[in-house]
Structure 1
Amino acid sequence: MASQSHEATSSSQKTSHKGEHHGDHSDGTLPITRGSYVFSICACINSCNLGFDLGATTNVGPLVEAQLGLTTAQRELFVGSLDFWAIVGGFLSNWICDKYGRRRSFITAALGFIIGSVITGASNSFFILMVGRMFVGLGIGFGLAIDPLYIAEITPAAHRGKMVTWSEIAVNIGIVFGLFTAIMFYGVADSLKWRLMLYMGALLPLVMIYLVLTVMPESPRWLVNRGRFDEAKAVLQKVYPPGFDVDAVIADIKEVIERERLADQNIGWGAVLCPTKAFRRMLMVGLGTAVAQQAVGIDSIFYYMNDLIKRSGIKSETSQLSVLMLLGCCKLVFVFVGGKLFDKLGRRPLLGASLIGMCLCLIMIAFTENVAQITGVALYLSFYSIGMGPGAWLVPSEIFATSIRAKGMSLATTLNRAVATIVASTFLTTANAMGWTEYFLMLAGICFILTVFLYVYLPETKGRSLEDMTLYFAEITNDTSILDAEATLRRNDDVEKPVNELSPLITQ
């Protein structure tokens, strides 16, 4: 695969020359505009909601278990149900995202967070608690699918790696905020503390709705798909520097859509359910990377961090909260590192280093105790944040062809949350049954297998425009249907060119 990837890189230089000619500088010389920054930051606020719930649930879980008298199985359902409903939200997101646009998807996600946070915080029974988690989970599913997709579609290729990883940075900022609520309400009675922590989850979604209605534009690629070219041009003029030929960008998007039509790739689910070789490779890599993010066990470790800290011998509540905050901050800091390196070093090196590092850290966690074990957890979170954390959303958001991008992200989110549901809702039972040492060794083995999978199948996509991806994967897989469509387009261009050149003479 390594050689195949390099050959594809060489052979597909011609596929990217067009984007570079239009100014999509893969060397990073194209400046990031104020519009790109503002729109990406707004989208990232939605990711903060997921992080907040992850951080808050780490502390809320034990409190809810004690206050409502939950069993261990019910606590696992409380934690894991969020990911289950996120599966449904991720699957449904494609319909709203494609039919009604990216902006309305953001609003849908925010409403799920608001309704769910209020119901969960007011619940007095396990049933009502689970109803609230259903709404929050639906919101998370929508958010996970739309955030990286929107940022990828509104960002030039030269900066896409850095900008898309902002969504993972935002998740980690939300985690720290969620963990901090335990300190914020430290002196409050436990019966009220967990409710206040959950109510706090409704604040950022309100901000998100305001920003969608007043600041954020629609995705230019969705607008082009809908034939709304003037609106798409207006958005692209805010994303690219003054004087940039945005008409050429629109032409690229339209050409990709036409190429996929000529390759018999319908906008419906046929392209996903019965894919050509190029689309099959896209789906295998994109969905596989999304699954890998949760298969490494991140949710089981983070949701039950309190249990791990207690097992390490730390008894004081204040010390436990301090360690939690330290681990959350550690995870956050290294996401910034990963975000900086993705556009410099590429996707393959960082994801590989991340998985190998986590594999070694899980072995360390399995065989150590006390401070050494906490150190292993800190290193595990750091390696996760450098690569698999942001990369698992960056790769799917950029490799799917325009016609299946929303559907691909929807499926990626669905599978990601499905694995998260299994991992988070079975952690305590599985770890107690097979032994904690054996459980972490199993996760280390999974990390090793995933390293091999990505090494074999993941091509390097650094610096490539979204419009390049279809032809790039067609060359990698020798997908003749896509390549023939490209040849047809080129023949059409050759036929049209003389006519265009003669038109001034005809006018004269």
Structure 2
Amino acid sequence: MEIENQRPRSNPSSRTANKGRLNKYALACAMLASTNSILLGYDIGVMSGAVLYIKDNLKISRTQVEILVGSLNVCSLIGSLASGKTSDMIGRRYTIVLSAATFLIGAVLMGLAPSFSYLMAGRVIAGIGVGYSLMIAPVYTAELAPAMSRGFLSSLPEVFINIGILIGYIFNYALSGLPEHINWRLMLGIAGFPAIAIAGGVAMMPESPRWLVMKGRLEEAREILIKTSVDEDEANERLHQITKAAEDIMHTTADGGGGSEISQSNWKGQGVWKELLLHPTKPIRRMLIAAIGINFFMQASGNDAVVYYTPEVFKAAGIHKRKQLVGVTIIMGLAKTSCVLISALHLDKYGRRPLLLLGSSGMAISLALLGLGSRYLQHSDQKPTWAIVLCVIALCADVSFFSIGLGPITWVYSSEIFPSRLRAQGSSLAVSVNRVVSGVVSMTFLTITGKITFGGMFFILSGIMVIATVFFYYWLPETKGKTLEEIESIFEDK
């Protein structure tokens, strides 16, 4: 593979002066890619209210409610597993379009569903689209973004997930007054309209420069890097690093695949699963443990289930009117969205580790307080106001600390720690664990709380977050300010 002999001839003082500036072109591309995440957020938010009306209208049981809610997360496993290979074959950009189109089909089916079985079919298809989206948006953004702003830009998918959740809550409130055979259909079907706009917008985005280099299209990659860098010298420096990494990929793939005939033009991720799972080096093994671990704890925290079943949690706390239930969820949505914005804006200043440790320890304390409040209300006939307020504040604190730490940082970390040859499929494996755990927790949350109460469940989740904090402290090194090509060396150290 040839690269232009244009090693960097930069002016260090001007580079230092400009490195803190956010590149507007990179920001626009990251925002377009991340808008796909609104679809998942909207589904999470709107389903928490829609399920109240679906249960009454379709006469489904508590178990069917759990299956309906959790099925999207379980089925997203299909999309997340397929997304790595798909994005290596057809590119990052068209994989984003594919995810939006798949979700659109699912949303239309859900909105028009005449029965529970049709509704489930829509959830399955929408779940596959969600699986594609969760992996590809952070990977695309991480590969496009300059190192100094990668944390902020790669956390945008979580920002848009929270914006989607808030929009879902607002539509719940706005449509709750309609007849129950109409309101939930509108709540779920409306998601099809932004999916169309997202698919069209993403089609105009540039391709990932790292994927272009992998395919041997150096000039196209250089043009995109110039647009996303401070100056042309920085673009040439980034191109040199990416090209050198790509040369190593071709060498490694050829050795592992049994032939030197593999070239950039026909590279489609060959041998990646073998290198990840069968014969990983010590650094790769550490990356896998870190990526899978953070994705596991993201969902083992119970955040998705808590958001899905927020009305049930508040019912147990003594809030029974549906309008009040939906209204309180809007307050929670505002708290989540505000905190994820704060985290995203400070990820590149303070780093991943401090915010992650703050978020997980804060969740452990909030869940413990929520457990105490819930247990008190369970054994109290009067339902005192102070206990209800404590539960509402503790729940808002829990989701807020999640939005500071695990929420945005999981996507950032998973998408940046793997080397180029492993990034797409390594991230897809980690996200697959994320989806399995999310589905299991969502589909068992109500059953478990029915046996051990909400208070008992929150105490268990608090203990899980204590374990998560210890894991993060010992296993996750800091990646702030490093290029994607430099991060691999961090995991080579003990």
2:65 pairs, out of 71, 75, 83, with: 75
Q: Does 1:46 align with 2:50?
A: no
CA displacement, residues 340-361 of structure 1 (integer Å, 9 cap, x when unaligned) = 2211111111111111100000
Partner of 1:342: 347
- What CA distance in whole angstroms lies between the structure 1 residues aligned with 2:17 and 2:454? 46
- What pairs with 1:359-398 in structure 2 (closer than 5 Å)? 359-368=364-373, 369-398=387-416
- What CA distance in whole angstroms lies between the structure 2 residues aligned with 1:44 and 1:19? 31
- What CA distance in whole angstroms lies between the structure 2 residues aligned with 1:69 and 1:19? 67
- What CA distance in whole angstroms lies between the structure 1 residues aligned with 2:10 and 2:371? 52
1:121 corresponds to which letter in structure 2? G
1:290 pairs, out of 286, 295, 299, with: 295
- What CA distance in whole angstroms lies between the structure 1 residues aligned with 2:11 and 2:476? 27
- What CA distance in whole angstroms lies between the structure 1 residues aligned with 2:233 and 2:72? 44
Partner of 2:139: 149
Matched positions, count: 458
CA contact (8 A) 2:8 2:234 kept: no
CA displacement, residues 459-480 of structure 1 (integer Å, 9 cap, x when unaligned) = 1111000011223322x14xxx
CA contact (8 A) 2:8 2:233 kept: no
Q: Determine what percentage of the aligned residue pairs are the same residue.
A: 34
TM-score by length of 1: 0.87
1:299 pairs, out of 286, 304, 309, with: 304
CA displacement, residues 191-238 of structure 1 (integer Å, 9 cap, x when unaligned) = 10000111111011111111122x311000000001011111111121
Partner of 1:66: 56
2:344 corresponds to which letter in structure 1? G
CA contact (8 A) 1:366 1:441 kept: yes
1:421 pairs, out of 439, 447, 454, with: 439
1:282 corresponds to which letter in structure 2? M
CA displacement, residues 14-49 of structure 1 (integer Å, 9 cap, x when unaligned) = xxxx99979897997342222111101101110111
1:125 corresponds to which letter in structure 2? S
1:174 corresponds to which letter in structure 2? G
Shift of 1:296: 0.6
CA displacement, residues 441-497 of structure 1 (integer Å, 9 cap, x when unaligned) = 1101100111111111111111000011223322x14xxxxxxxxxxxxxxxxxxxx
Partner of 1:179: 169
CA displacement, residues 415-445 of structure 1 (integer Å, 9 cap, x when unaligned) = 0000000100000001111222211111011
Partner of 2:160: 170
Cα 1:21/1:421, change in 2 over 3 Å: farther
Partner of 2:476: 458
Partner of 1:114: 104
Partner of 1:272: 276
- What CA distance in whole angstroms lies between the structure 2 residues aligned with 1:20 and 1:116? 51
Partner of 1:469: 487
1:328 pairs, out of 333, 342, 345, with: 333
- What CA distance in whole angstroms lies between the structure 2 residues aligned with 1:181 and 1:447? 32
1:317 pairs, out of 303, 316, 322, with: 322
- What CA distance in whole angstroms lies between the structure 2 residues aligned with 1:444 and 1:170? 26
Shift of 1:301: 0.6
The gaps in structure 2 that reach 5 residues or longer are 1-6, 258-269, 374-386
2:246 corresponds to which letter in structure 1? I
Q: Does 1:234 align with 2:223?
A: yes
- What CA distance in whole angstroms lies between the structure 1 residues aligned with 2:421 and 2:487? 12
Q: Does 1:220 align with 2:220?
A: no
Cα 1:261/1:457, change in 2 over 3 Å: farther
Cα 1:124/1:31, change in 2 over 3 Å: same
CA contact (8 A) 1:22 1:248 kept: no
Partner of 2:264: none
Shift of 1:270: 1.6
Partner of 2:242: 253
2:205 corresponds to which letter in structure 1? M
Give secondary structure in 2 for the equivalent of 1:246.
Answer: helix
CA contact (8 A) 1:26 1:157 kept: no
- What CA distance in whole angstroms lies between the structure 1 residues aligned with 2:368 and 2:237? 51
CA displacement, residues 264-305 of structure 1 (integer Å, 9 cap, x when unaligned) = 677521211121001111111111111111011101111000
Greater mean alpha carbon deviation, residues 170-179 or residues 254-263? 254-263
- What CA distance in whole angstroms lies between the structure 1 residues aligned with 2:395 and 2:11? 46
Partner of 2:379: none
Cα 1:350/1:21, change in 2 over 3 Å: farther
Partner of 1:91: 81
RMSD between superposed Cα atoms in Å: 2.0
CA contact (8 A) 1:25 1:158 kept: no
The gaps in structure 1 that reach 5 residues or longer are 1-17, 478-508
TM-score by length of 2: 0.89
2:406 corresponds to which letter in structure 1? M
CA displacement, residues 121-144 of structure 1 (integer Å, 9 cap, x when unaligned) = 111222111110011100100000
